[in-house]
Every structure is written in structure tokens, then in C-alpha cells.
Structure 1
Amino acid sequence: MRYVIAALLTLCFLSGGVIPRAAGQVALPPVGLPDRGRILPGLPDLAAEPLTVAEDKLRTLRLDRIAALVRRHPDAIERDARGDPAVRGVLVAIGVDTAMVARARAAGFALIDRERLDSLGLDIVRFRVPDGRSLARAQKQLARLLPDAEVDVDHIYFASGPGGALPGAALVATTGAGGGAAPLGLIDGGVAAHPSVAGRVEQRGFARGAPTASEHGTAVASLLVGAGAVQGAAPGRRLLAADVYGNDPAGGSASAIARALGWLAARRVAVTTISLVGPDNKLLAAAVAAAQRKGMLIVAAVGNDGPAAPPAYPASYRGVLAVTGVDARARVLPEAGRALHVDFAAPGDAVRAATGPASIERLRGTSFAAPLVAGRLALHYPAASIAAIGPAITVLVMEARDLGRKGRDKIYGHGLICGDCGR
């Protein structure tokens, strides 16, 4: 029965079954199978806690993490109306013309800059909030002033696994090796010069001080394309790594991620991993949708804030493949967050990854599950092509080992990918 439905799914893709929603995001057709810093540390002790106790701890940790970030960098970061962290005093907008810019300026919103992302067909405009006005109040005012534009704050996104910056660590450099297939994409911190990824990673910075090597970015990169001491899910492939953090206190912003997606789309990347989590954002949603229309498949972690946390983005966007993590017994991690949908599970506990120029560690978190799924997907989807999405996803679904309730479920999605990877 699985094979019959998978064949029907392929026909759906090949007959134009990529369905845009109102916001323009590409939907993967439904698979009708039967039923340190900003980083949340690993939490193995939660497995022994009652569910309600674990959820309370995770909720407290999430709120404390946001409060600590704002407290450490009050000049760079403030909260929006929902309490989420964002770049202080900055609003981002798309769909803005010259007359709108003049209208905003007349109301006290100074133009910071305007950037065209040709590969995504997006114009991003950043405005400075008038002095003495809160971000929340200013957003409402500018949205009323520019009703035909999409106005939002510049939210900040957190890495969904342990691993901070590596000041002074050497960055990996590319030599152009890695075969003829399209490179994979990574949006994260910078990648250190570990032997497992040497010669195959090209990096670009999208925040102040970037690219700067980080443990988290290095780990995810090694799990994607590592070969040798750390074996990735797509060993030996080329990787384009976009560092959206650098040493910027307000790194990891929606605008930085949007610019990174623009770079990757311009380079015709077919599969991109984003192991970052945060709230829904109009600019980020538009950038994801535009990249999808270019044929890019985006794989994102659901985060480590627990099942009671708000839905994680970009994992929750339509068409993004949301990945959760499991332990060695194929049980979902108790700290695994949630998205509006979960598509696949992969190993997320004691995963062996590079963490610096000469270090390998066992790591825990959904961050390290996502690249395993992305790497396997890239083997079936070597070049960006809308027509090839259906067959590639079908093969990945058929590869998954069913977990939990029979068929697709809300916890494990279609099941476990790359179950022996990272061990």
C-alpha cells in the first residue's frame, strides 16, 4: 500500500502538485500514508521527569534565555509585542515603493538602507524607529501608515543545540572539491577548519564580524558533508555556509537569514539546512517562499524548547521539512520542540560531530538531526528543480523507518531517517 500511495504522490508532484498559499509559500504535496550564549544546553535529565515538570523547566529556560540575551545586550536587542527578541529600534518591510519611503520618513521613520535580493525577487527596506518609541508601538504605527506593505520587526533566531563561538579559531576554506552536484546550503554560525570538512566549504558572512567559526555551525556542517573522522549524511559534497551570527550581539536576525537565502538561491543550492528557531516573521516567510519557488528544499530543526513551546519557525512554514530528534532507542527527545507539522525524525542524542579545528564531541539536540535528513535528501535531489521534488521526497518517505503510531504521526512524521548516522 505504501508503494501505491508513493507512486500517486510522485504523479502529484510531476503534474504540478506544488501548491502556493496566499503568502506565496510552496507546499509539499500531502503524503497520504496510513496512519552556551543563545543555545539551550542538552537536557538528558528531563527523560526521568514527569512530562508536566519537564515542560515547566523548558518553558522557564526559554524565557530565561530570552531575558538574559536582552539583559546582556540592551543597546542592540529589545522585545517585540509578543516578548520575542528583535533588533533594537529597527523595522523591516517588503513591498515598499519610493512614495511609501517618503511617507514613512515624514512620520519620523528614518530610512536605514534598502537592499534588493535579485535571486529572490525581494526588496528589503529597513527603517529606524523614532526616538522614545517602543518597537511594538512603532510597528503598529508603520503598518497603519503603509497598509500595502509587509512590516515586521527584525526577529532574532536561536541555534537549536549546544555550541558557541570559537574566537580566533581558523575557518575552513574551500578548494572547489566535492564533485559535480550542486552544493548544499547551511545557514548557521561559521565553520571551523576541521579535517572532516576541509576543502569543501565556502563561507560568507551576513552579520558583523562574520564569518567567525562556531561550534554549532561546525557540528552541523560535519553532519552534512563530513568525510573521514566524522562521516556526514552526504559525505564529500560541497557546502555553502552562511554565517548569520559572526560576533554581532544582534546576529541571527530575520534580515540576515533572508540575505543568506538570497545568496544560496543565487548559487542554485538545492537543499539548505537551518537549525535555528524563532517566531513567525513576515520577511523570513517571504524569503523562504521565494527560495522555494526557485526549487530550494529547506530542512529545519523543530528546536529544543519542548512540546509546549510556541511553534518553531522556519520549521513551521509550509513546504519546509521539519525535523525532530530521537535518542538511541528511537524515542523522541523530551526537549524536542514542536512545529505546525513534523516531517521526519533523525538521531539527536550522542551524535558524533566536529566542534572545532581539532575536536570531536557527542552532541544532543534537534539541530544535529536536521542535517542528517538534509544530507540524505540531497542524495536524491542533487539539483534544484520543481519537477524533481516529488520523486525525491517520495524516495525519502519510503526510506523512513516508521516510529510511534502506524503511519505518519505528529511526533515522528514519516519516521526515522539515517538511523545509524552520527553514531
Structure 2
Amino acid sequence: MSSIRQRLFACIVTTGLATGAVGAQLLPSLPAVGGIGQAVGALPSLGAPLEQLLSTAQQQTATAPSLDRIALPDAIGSLTAASLLDLRRLRLALLVSAHKRELEQDERGNPVRRGVLVTVDPDPASLAGAIADGFRVERRDTNGDLGLTTVTLAVPGNMRVRMALRRLHQTAPRLIADYDHVYEPSGGSLLASIAALAAGGSASGPAIAMIDGGVASHPSLARAAIEQRAFAGTAKATGHGTAIASLLVGEQGPFRGAATGARLYVADVYGGSPAAGSASAIVAALGWAASKKPAAISISLVGPANALLERATQILARRGIPLVAAVGNDGPAAPVQYPAAYAGVLAITAVDRNDRALPEAGRAAKLDYAAPGADMAAALPGNGYARVRGTSFAAPLVAARIAEAGIAHLGAETAPGRGKVGRGIICHLCRIDPKVVGAK
């Protein structure tokens, strides 16, 4: 058994992927293993492509749910859909295994905040019934910017959230309740940085908001107008957030973002921790972003459908605030990812330098546009540039074009592409060649 398969097996056992409905959802069942007393899923066949095309270091990079990478290795594009799905399973299992105090998994293996459920605009009678059944109000939040009230309920005792959600639906069937899912960056994990946060500057251009990790200082952002706010602890600079910001408003020599001169509002939903990025934090961030009257909101995060996040996107859509989201990088066999899949959200995939859709791009319930997302450079925290790859880096380019020209003009500037590119490629000439800026 290869080391990566051993890690997957260990995570299946230690994080509970083998139990209950999860085994049926994720993996074929096998006889009970090692006294666990429940059926465990068969190890996915990672297959020759994974072992042959990715080095050990690349395998660790592609699956590590940590703060040590900014983009996927280029070799990820050579993997089969099955291997990409295996990588997703392992990555999520490792994330939960590394943060057992903060996270659990739902029926499909998605990470959720441990021990809590979130209700949306709960009616008093249903809430009282839930409390009488042992649920406890942990916090109540009124998002005035969205006109939305959420009540976070602590589950009774040490009950697992999967069982608690079923019980809550039985106790208070009128409640709109869901897990507080955790969402991932859709182009590599957050690279934690000791660099100072980018701040200050003035600009008279349109406002753009981004929901991501914190943005570090960088020469390309020295003159940019950036305001940051934390929604998960203290704001911390990250590689992912810095890269996204540079693609929006960066400017240094030959490097130029797609919306230089725009005012950038950064909502940090991670605080430097991959165990953050919850639906409740993202919705709070969306409310703040909406208060800035942005021309567009860019979100390069992916995760499952969630009742709270869906309600927030519906409110934004009714207000006519464009929300642009990446479809993810787990391949065509992976589940459809949100918020990109919601009605009213523009779903964005990525293309390489040959205008070919990235083979690892996620399966989309709908696909609106593509933009450059590989063979390109973006800023590193502090100084320098990195080669980036992923649909994460395509979404901000589309948001930038909406801010600069308006959403009604997107169709007029599309370029043709190869593969699944939706209605065409936006910001076709926005790719910065890594060689031009000496990207690592």
C-alpha cells in the first residue's frame, strides 16, 4: 500500500468516514475492520496516474489541508477524474483529522463546525421547541446589511452533528437549519504569512469585494486602495488572498491586475486557519461586502450546498450585486460546488495559455464563463511572484471586468476556447506570463 493510500485509510478510520451513511455516500462497503464494528469503505484506487505523475512532494501538496501552499502543481491536470476525486476525499479527511476539536463531517464527508447547527430566520415557537429538546442558543446574529437573522445552536451533549440535524428537523420541522459547513480556497490552500497586511491607499475607481483569506503587503499593492476586515478571529495575511488581490488591483512594472484603480474590500473569513471559512463567517462577510456597494464580489471558495449561504446569495441577486465564484478544481467526478452552482451567481472555470479548459476544473451545475487560470503569475506575500493554477485565479478576473465594464458587456468581449468554457473566455489578455516577472 502506498503512503498516500495509507494516509487515506487512516483518515477514513480516525475521522469517521467509515460510519453510517458516509460509507455509502463516499466509498463501496467492505466487511467490518479491526473491531470498529461498522462497515468501512474500500480504499479508493488511486491508480497509476497519481503515483506516476505526481512526486511524493506533489502528492503532499495536492492533499495537504494546511497553510503551506498557494496553488496546485501543474501535474494535477494529468490526473484522471477518479484520482482527482480520491485526492479530494483524502484532503477533506486530513483537514478534519488535523482539526478534530473544531471540525466534524456531514453525511458526504464535507467538513462542518463541530457541535453546532445554524438556523436561518427562526420563528420563536420552533426555536423554543428546539431549546426544550436540549439544544442551546450559542449565539444570535442579525445581519442588518442582508436583513438576515441567524441563530447558532449548540447540539445536546456530545451528540454528533449528523444525528443532531436529523433530531432538530424532527423536533422543529419548520426551522430552516443546516450545518455550518467549512469552505476551501479553490486554487490551493492558504499560505500563512508573517508579512504585514496590505492597507491604505486611495482610489476613485469602482468598488470590488473579495471573500478570501487576508491580503499581505506587496510592492504591486503599495498604491492600491485596500480595506480589510476579519470575520474569523484576527485578520492574517495569506498567500491565496494576496494572489487574488494582486490579480484584481496589483500594479508593478510588467505586472498589472485586471482592475487597477479599483477600491478593494477584503473580507478575511479564515484568520489564517484552514479550519475556519465557515458558512456563517462567509455570510457575515457578504453582508459587510454588500454595504460597500460593490460593482462585483469575487469569491474563490468552494464547498457544499448550504441553506444559510443560499439565502445570502438570493438576497444579493435580488439586489443586483454580481457575485462571481470559482467552480473548484476537483475534477468532473467530484460533487458540484457552491456558491458557484447557485442561481444568480456567475460560475467561472479556468483555461490555460492555449485557451483550453483545465482538465481538473470542477463539474458545474451551470457554467457561465472562463478566464485565465494557469500558466500565469500572481503576487506572493511580501515580495515576488508565483506561478498559480486553479479556478480560484480565474474568478477575480471576471469580477474585475464586471467592475470595469459592467456585467451587461461581458458577452461582447468573450473569446472562444477549447473544452467547457461556458459562454466564452473573459479577460483573455489578462494573463501575466510568469517569465516576465520572474515567478517562482
TM (normalized to structure 1)? 0.83
Alignment-mate amino acid for residue 102 of structure 1: A
Q: Distance in 1 between matches of 2:315 and 2:418?
A: 34
> How do 1:371-382 residues align onto structure 2 when only pairs under 5 Å count?
371-381=396-406
- Aligned residue number for residue 44 of structure 1: 74
- Aligned residue number for residue 402 of structure 1: 416
Alignment-mate amino acid for residue 130 of structure 1: P
Q: 2:151 aligns with which of 125, 137, 140?
A: 125
Q: Distance in 1 between matches of 2:195 and 2:77?
A: 35
Alignment-mate amino acid for residue 184 of structure 2: F
Q: Secondary structure at the match of 1:356?
A: coil
What is the number of residues matched between the two proteins? 365
Q: Distance in 2 between matches of 1:126 and 1:415?
A: 41
- Aligned residue number for residue 4 of structure 1: none
Give CA-to-partner distance per residue, 1:377-400, whole Å, 9 cap, x none. 11123xxxxxxxxxx33x111100
The answer to whether residue 320 in structure 2 is matched with residue 311 in structure 1 is: no
1:223 and 1:422 in contact (8 A); partners too: no
2:206 and 2:403 in contact (8 A); partners too: no
**Structure 1 pair 103–47 and aligned structure 2 pair: CA distance change class (3 A):** closer
Instruction: Give ranges in structure 1 of 5+ residues lacking alignment.
Output: 1-35, 382-391, 406-410
Q: 2:110 aligns with which of 62, 67, 84?
A: 84
Alignment-mate amino acid for residue 236 of structure 2: T
- Aligned residue number for residue 247 of structure 2: 223
Q: 1:329 aligns with which of 354, 370, 385?
A: 354
Shift of residue 137, structure 1, vs aligned partner:
1.0
- Aligned residue number for residue 8 of structure 1: none
1:327 and 1:349 in contact (8 A); partners too: yes
> How do 1:243-254 residues align onto structure 2 when only pairs under 5 Å count?
243-248=268-273, 250-254=275-279
2:232 and 2:271 in contact (8 A); partners too: yes
Q: 2:424 aligns with which of 377, 402, 415?
A: 415
1:302 and 1:315 in contact (8 A); partners too: yes
- Aligned residue number for residue 156 of structure 1: 182
Give CA-to-partner distance per residue, 1:45-70, whole Å, 9 cap, x none. 24445xxxx11211111000011011
2:184 and 2:274 in contact (8 A); partners too: no
Q: Which has the higher contact order (CA 8 A, sep 6+)?
A: 1
Alignment-mate amino acid for residue 45 of structure 1: A
Alignment-mate amino acid for residue 214 of structure 2: G
Q: 2:321 aligns with which of 270, 273, 296?
A: 296
Q: Distance in 2 between matches of 1:45 and 1:234?
A: 30
Q: Secondary structure at the match of 1:279?
A: coil
Shift of residue 162, structure 1, vs aligned partner:
2.5
1:265 and 1:294 in contact (8 A); partners too: no
Give CA-to-partner distance per residue, 1:76-117, whole Å, 9 cap, x none. 000012221100001001121333332211111110010111
Q: Distance in 1 between matches of 2:425 and 2:288?
A: 31
Q: Distance in 2 between matches of 1:48 and 1:85?
A: 27
- Aligned residue number for residue 209 of structure 2: 185
Q: Distance in 1 between matches of 2:272 and 2:371?
A: 30
1:222 and 1:232 in contact (8 A); partners too: yes
Q: 1:63 aligns with which of 89, 102, 121?
A: 89
Q: Distance in 2 between matches of 1:244 and 1:182?
A: 23
- Aligned residue number for residue 387 of structure 1: none
Alignment-mate amino acid for residue 169 of structure 2: A
Q: Secondary structure at the match of 2:177?
A: strand
Q: Secondary structure at the match of 2:399?
A: helix
> How do 1:264-279 residues align onto structure 2 when only pairs under 5 Å count?
264-279=289-304
The answer to whether residue 148 in structure 2 is matched with residue 139 in structure 1 is: no
Q: Distance in 1 between matches of 2:286 and 2:390?
A: 23
Q: 2:257 aligns with which of 214, 217, 232?
A: 232
Give CA-to-partner distance per residue, 1:232-258, whole Å, 9 cap, x none. 111121100000001345311000000
Q: Distance in 1 between matches of 2:378 and 2:168?
A: 45
TM (normalized to structure 2)? 0.80
Q: 1:108 aligns with which of 134, 137, 142?
A: 134
